Amino acid sequence: MIKKISVLVFLIAVLFLGCERDDICSEATATTPHLIIRFYDVNDTDEPKTVRQLTVTGQGVEDEIVSSTTTDSILLPLRFQNEGETISTFFELKKDTDYDTNGNDSNASNTDVIEVSYTPEFIYVSRACGYKSIFAGTEIDVIEADDDDVWIINALTVNTTIEDEKAAHINIYH
């Protein structure tokens, strides 16, 4: 009888000691952050200013990241392939994208292009979550437009390292 109880206790102990904690990445765990851009009034650089009917796409990509939204800030995804290699991503920012009844752009829209350069770094989070990327050395350039109707007057990098989504990384003045 004692031998049966000992075997039973041993089996129960093995079952409980052999179990591992579930590897589930919590939704509260920080993941790869997006680039945050805030828009400001060029005449009053402390005053946020909305962009009317803003549409954003990656240059050469048809899918819209932001679609016809009036806003004073946007989140943009950044690419990361090779750690430590500087990457440049081009975004087309089109304001006043009112669409006619056929879904075509009106002539009132105005597109400017920005180039965001950065260097991805991979940070180990946990076994459940794996790695996340942060972006160092972030810089922005406004690409000269083919037309004379430039709406982005100036751009300034305010946080060169993108580690989280708590504050703006780039300010655009228009």
**Domain ranges (residues) in the chain:** 30-173
Supply 91's token pair. 């975004």
Rounded to two decimals, the pTM is 0.80
CA distance 153 to 110: 13
Q: Does the pLDDT value for residue 131 go beyond 60?
A: yes
Count of CB atoms situated within 10 Å of the CB of 28: 5
CA distance 90 to 18: 51
Summarised one tens digit per residue, pLDDT across range 27-83 is 888 889 999 999 999 999 999 999 999 999 998 888 999 999 999 999 999 998 889
